[in-house]
Amino acid sequence: MALKDHPTTKPTAPLSPERAWGVLADEDEAALAVRFVVGERSVSFPVHTLKRWELNPGATDTLAIQADAERIVVQGHGLASVRDALDAGALRVLRVKPGRTTVAAAPGETVVTGIAFTVASE
């Protein structure tokens, strides 16, 4: 017989907003800016400048984000979690995982292997 939590008990500690691939806002908060971190470099955008994002799943997922006059291209695996965090207005920090550019992600794991910034074409 397995022990189960009583349905009316709350978890002893809230879930951490920290993920291996980034940081999310707490449930009752909204992110004001999103910081993209690549190694020692970080670039932040106010959330209101993020106009649209498009997820293209594949052998390597691509998440293209339009931010005013710039385009941010995120590559990795399991990027639907990142897209969902953007949809919810909860994404605060997104970071590349060092050393994971060629290693396959475990099933269901979100891994960011690259973030690139370019000037958007008009």
Higher pLDDT, 122 or 110: 110
* Percentage of residues in the chain having pLDDT higher than 70: 80
Look at residue 10 in the predicted model and tell me its pLDDT. 54
How big is the CA angle at 6 (ends 17 and 88), to the nearest 5 degrees?
Answer: 25
Look at residue 13 in the predicted model and tell me its pLDDT. 45
What are 52-89's pLDDT values in tens digits?
A: 999 999 999 999 999 989 999 999 999 999 999 999 99
Hey, which residues does 52 pair with through a beta bridge? Answer: 66
Strands 70-77 and 61-67: antiparallel
Q: What CA–CA distance (Å, rounded) separates 49 from 120?
A: 13
